[in-house]
Structure 1
Amino acid sequence: MDMEPSTNCAAAGVASGGGNESSNYLNLPLLLQPSYARSKSSLSDELRSFRMSLKWCALDHSSGIGKFISYLMFVFLTVFVPIVTSISVQVPASVLSTDTTAYNLLVQFPESGLAFLGFFTLCCFFRRYGLRQLLFLDALQQDTTFVRRGYTRELDKAFRYLACILLPSFFVEVAHKIIYFSTVKISLPYVWSGFPLNSVMFVMVLGSWVYRTGVFLLVCVLFRLTCELQKLRFEGLHKMLEGCGCGCGGDTIFEEHLRIRKQVSVTSHRYRFFIISSLFVITVSQFAALFMVLASKSEKSFFNSGDLLVCSAVQLSGFFLCLLGATRITHRAQGMAAVATKWHMSMTCAEQQGKAIGDVSSCQSCKINNESDDSDSSDHIVIRVSEQHPSTFQMRQALVSYFQHNTKGITLFGYALDRGLLHTLFAFEFSLVMWILSKVVVLS
């Protein structure tokens, strides 16, 4: 699962001094300790929660046995269980709704489709990068203490977002499945009629739902975590521009922005297939559900359409999590031009103010010399201006031009994922809703 190159760099930003050095070292988070550059993880590793979660979700690809179990569980919970459930369920004639089976099939396809996208994405990531390289942990040695402390907090909060989406949906799903399997009848060939098929199928369906939902949301959480790291780096670059007296030159700021821009581009290339494919699956499933619900004349209840509610909530929550992380990075990248322009203006004004002070002092000195010489000629007045470096102004101007022409953050095949693209997506989705409503009105 991990291809972790060992490094010997010492973590920057660790404050040490006197007798408090050892105590400060023990109190620092792991990402801020010099011993962070290692090839193996310790028990206090912040990635331990990720690795444990991957093992419990049968997504451990660090060994051949782990890969075999992972693929086996994926086929069983994503393909086998939904197919068996759809075939074996029989809705009794006493139930008034006739759309229960159709709604159930409509839910199974997008859930399995998103799970396939998430599983395929994770497999590619673990095979090519590994978990540490996927989260850019090896590159943290070049970051400031502000970035590393912020990323440590984001690592701690990563699974809270997953739990905030998964747990409420799980409770609603459990309530729905209890009602569902207490009403329907499960029948399979070559199975004894007295066997508790409903109870077994209830457990299998819940396990399948947790697995499929968890795989999709896990990729969304990983993408958001990567976006938060880049956002912290943009904030650190912002602080570099604001701290004019910190000694950071334009070349240092340029190199830092190049490093951030490269990692943002890598993030865009890694996740663009997942984002676009998820958007397609979610759009098709949502509008198919909308068309089916509006066109059906049967009574809607929690029994027959509860799955649609849970499925839609999970899909939209996970996708909005991705969009929120991407747009925040893009807006930070687009705002750097304004910040750099302000920095350039402040530095130029400070230089001009220093130049004006130098002019006034020179004039006063010359005036005194003229009075002592009793001369009215202005040819003897010499104004000494403090030596300036035009190259510094030109470097800042070039840096501002660079920021103005490099404003893209997260991109999808060259299109920046910003407000403009979100407005376009909203207009497209709204047009589809209006088209579906028009078809439903015609059919009714």
Structure 2
Amino acid sequence: MEYSDEEEQGSSPASASESESECPPLMAPPPPQPRAPPSQRPLLLNPAYARCKSVIHDELRSFRVFLQWCALDHSTRAGRAASYAAFLALALLVPAAVSVSLRADAALSPASASAITFNRVAQVPVTGLAAISFATLAVFFRRFGGLRQLLFLDGALRDDTTYVRRGYARELDRAFRLLAALLLPSLCVEAAHKAVFFFCTVRVDPPAAPVVLPPLLPPWRVPWRAVALVATVASWVYRTGVFLLVCVLFRLTCELQILRFEGIHHMFDVEARAAAAEIFAEHRRIRTQLLATSHRYRVFIICCLVTITVSQLGALLVVLSSGDAKSFSNTGDLLVGLAVQLSGFFMCLFGAARITHRAQRMVSIASQWHMSMVAAMHHGKSSPDSTSASDVDASRVSGSSAAVSQAEPGGAFSYKSRQALVTYLRHNGGGITLFGFTLDRGLLHTIFVFEMTLVLWILSKVVVLQ
């Protein structure tokens, strides 16, 4: 059907726009894709890494909120002063005041005296681990400035691939959920035990109550048990949260290195001649960060090991030497404290052992890669020259055989570079170290045998005493 010139000239702009909108997608220009503003990009995928405050799209926001609620924010002088004051009050003064105020009451429970003894023994490792963890965090914040530098988020993550950055973003969310999964169930059990302990087992009688209280509020009307319950639970949450936070931060740092080692595993699939140099540079960067991580946490791990060993063996000796009946009301503190302390400490040990064995596994992977490249080179040399049918067969040969079977000087250089890489990895396969001792499964077996020997020795002494 033909149209006249008047109809074509008389067509309105609206109809022209409608005709343009109804044209096929292949003919129309692609619509511009809306770009997300920089404030809505994830922190780890933003190349600027300029955000430091707790905004809604910041993956570290949960950790910063936790630090603020636990009075661990050292970003300002006021926050640092409040942090030290909260530590002195919740980690030292409250447990000491509550322990002094406890009185045995045989009318409430026949095991009231032993319950007070067990409670005081249980406070020692919790306070000790909290002091070690608080000192570790204070040193971290003073030297490195904050969580971004501590977790290698400031500049080291920019050189990683998108796979590593996305995996680390998932690990950040998973780490905070792990912290909540460890803290909340143990908090419920500890609160239930403290309620039974204060209201059904012991009597709370502060020694300085008549002096502190005003005349209008007699001592017998003050709910000292409720006050002691709230103060003790708040103190326990603070001390346990500080310890678990450092353990989770160490595990998160180890997970970052594991993701980077997985990135190196993907680099072994690259069959260019420069692959050996790239793998060497990436492995040296990871080794530098592993060395920094070992220096940051080695004192914390050793102090936690000594504190947990001495306190738990002492608690075992006190419990076994006591002749009173054991129940949840008098030994619940020891059980909850032992479960939380071992959970956090094993988290550190297993994370360090995983990264160590990933580092040691690199030697085996590099040797297999080197052998496969040599075999591909030998196969390329021994194959017949081109014939009329060899073009079809050459299409079936992998890209590695075609790339390696090139000039002889290039193949010799590639062979020497791969051999040097394997030798380098063989002599630099360590992971997390503690003053020169590699923290791997062999060291974990040694620690387990040592702890079991001490436990058996304590049991033998208890049997002899009885």
TM-score under structure 1 normalisation?
A: 0.87
The range that moved more, 218-227 or 175-184, is: 175-184
Match of 2:147 in 1: 131
Which among 95, 100, 106 is matched to residue 121 of structure 2? 106
The structure-2 alpha-carbon separation of the partners of 1:355 and 1:408, relative to structure 1 and needing over 3 Å to count, comes to same
Match of 1:9 in 2: none
Match of 2:334 in 1: 308
Q: Secondary structure at the match of 2:385?
A: helix
Q: Could you list the per-position Cα deviations for residues 349-375 of structure 1 after superposition, in whole angstroms to 9, with x for gaps in the alignment?
A: 111111112xx228x89xxxxxxxxxx
CA shift for structure 1 position 289: 1.4
Q: Secondary structure at the match of 2:221?
A: coil
* Paired residue type of 1:123: A
> Following the alignment from structure 1 to structure 2, what is the Cα–Cα distance between the partners of residues 41 and 72?
24
Alignment of 1:66-145 (within 5 A): 66-94=79-107, 95-97=109-111, 98-129=113-144, 130-138=146-154, 139-145=156-162
Which among 210, 227, 233 is matched to residue 200 of structure 1? 227
> Following the alignment from structure 1 to structure 2, what is the Cα–Cα distance between the partners of residues 304 and 125?
38
**Structure 1, gaps ≥5 residues long:** 1-16, 366-384
Q: Could you list the per-position Cα deviations for residues 92-131 of structure 1 after superposition, in whole angstroms to 9, with x for gaps in the alignment?
A: 0222113112101111111000000010000000111021
1:173 aligned onto 2:186: no
Which among 391, 404, 407 is matched to residue 387 of structure 1? 407
User: Are the equivalent residues in 1 in contact too, given 2:290–2:432 (CA < 8 A)?
Assistant: yes
Alignment of 1:12-27 (within 5 A): 19-20=32-33, 22=35
> Following the alignment from structure 2 to structure 1, what is the Cα–Cα distance between the partners of residues 152 and 332?
40
**Structure 2, gaps ≥5 residues long:** 1-29, 214-218, 389-404
> Following the alignment from structure 1 to structure 2, what is the Cα–Cα distance between the partners of residues 105 and 198?
17
CA shift for structure 1 position 23: 5.6
Match of 1:187 in 2: 205
Which among 243, 248, 271 is matched to residue 221 of structure 1? 248
Match of 2:75 in 1: 62
> Following the alignment from structure 1 to structure 2, what is the Cα–Cα distance between the partners of residues 434 and 396?
51
Which among 298, 319, 327 is matched to residue 345 of structure 2? 319
Q: Could you list the per-position Cα deviations for residues 30-60 of structure 1 after superposition, in whole angstroms to 9, with x for gaps in the alignment?
A: 3113343456564311111111110000001
Q: Secondary structure at the match of 2:407?
A: coil
User: Are the equivalent residues in 2 in contact too, given 1:244–1:347 (CA < 8 A)?
Assistant: no
Q: Secondary structure at the match of 2:44?
A: helix
* Paired residue type of 1:172: V
> Following the alignment from structure 2 to structure 1, what is the Cα–Cα distance between the partners of residues 299 and 456?
28
> Following the alignment from structure 1 to structure 2, what is the Cα–Cα distance between the partners of residues 247 and 236?
18
The structure-2 alpha-carbon separation of the partners of 1:350 and 1:185, relative to structure 1 and needing over 3 Å to count, comes to same
Q: Secondary structure at the match of 1:193?
A: helix
CA shift for structure 1 position 29: 3.0
Match of 1:413 in 2: 435
RMSD after superposition: 2.0
User: Are the equivalent residues in 1 in contact too, given 2:73–2:80 (CA < 8 A)?
Assistant: yes
> Following the alignment from structure 2 to structure 1, what is the Cα–Cα distance between the partners of residues 279 and 133?
36
Q: Could you list the per-position Cα deviations for residues 236-266 of structure 1 after superposition, in whole angstroms to 9, with x for gaps in the alignment?
A: 011111x133675211110000000100110
* Paired residue type of 1:361: D
> Following the alignment from structure 1 to structure 2, what is the Cα–Cα distance between the partners of residues 74 and 101?
24
> Following the alignment from structure 2 to structure 1, what is the Cα–Cα distance between the partners of residues 53 and 45?
16
Q: Secondary structure at the match of 1:284?
A: helix
* Paired residue type of 1:113: G
Match of 1:438 in 2: 460
* Paired residue type of 1:440: V
> Following the alignment from structure 1 to structure 2, what is the Cα–Cα distance between the partners of residues 315 and 176?
17
* Paired residue type of 1:128: R
Match of 2:167 in 1: 150
> Following the alignment from structure 2 to structure 1, what is the Cα–Cα distance between the partners of residues 307 and 31?
59
The structure-2 alpha-carbon separation of the partners of 1:39 and 1:435, relative to structure 1 and needing over 3 Å to count, comes to closer
Q: Could you list the per-position Cα deviations for residues 173-204 of structure 1 after superposition, in whole angstroms to 9, with x for gaps in the alignment?
A: 11111111112221122242321111111100
> Following the alignment from structure 2 to structure 1, what is the Cα–Cα distance between the partners of residues 54 and 464?
62
> Following the alignment from structure 1 to structure 2, what is the Cα–Cα distance between the partners of residues 178 and 441?
34
Match of 1:338 in 2: 364
Q: Secondary structure at the match of 1:31?
A: coil
Q: Could you list the per-position Cα deviations for residues 241-297 of structure 1 after superposition, in whole angstroms to 9, with x for gaps in the alignment?
A: 1x1336752111100000001001100100000000000000011111111222222
> Following the alignment from structure 2 to structure 1, what is the Cα–Cα distance between the partners of residues 376 and 192?
67
Q: Secondary structure at the match of 1:185?
A: strand
CA shift for structure 1 position 419: 0.8
Match of 2:6 in 1: none
The structure-2 alpha-carbon separation of the partners of 1:105 and 1:29, relative to structure 1 and needing over 3 Å to count, comes to same
The range that moved more, 309-318 or 244-253, is: 244-253
Q: Secondary structure at the match of 2:35?
A: helix
Alignment of 1:210-359 (within 5 A): 210-241=237-268, 243-245=269-271, 248-357=274-383
Q: How many residues align?
A: 405
The structure-2 alpha-carbon separation of the partners of 1:26 and 1:216, relative to structure 1 and needing over 3 Å to count, comes to closer
TM-score under structure 2 normalisation?
A: 0.83
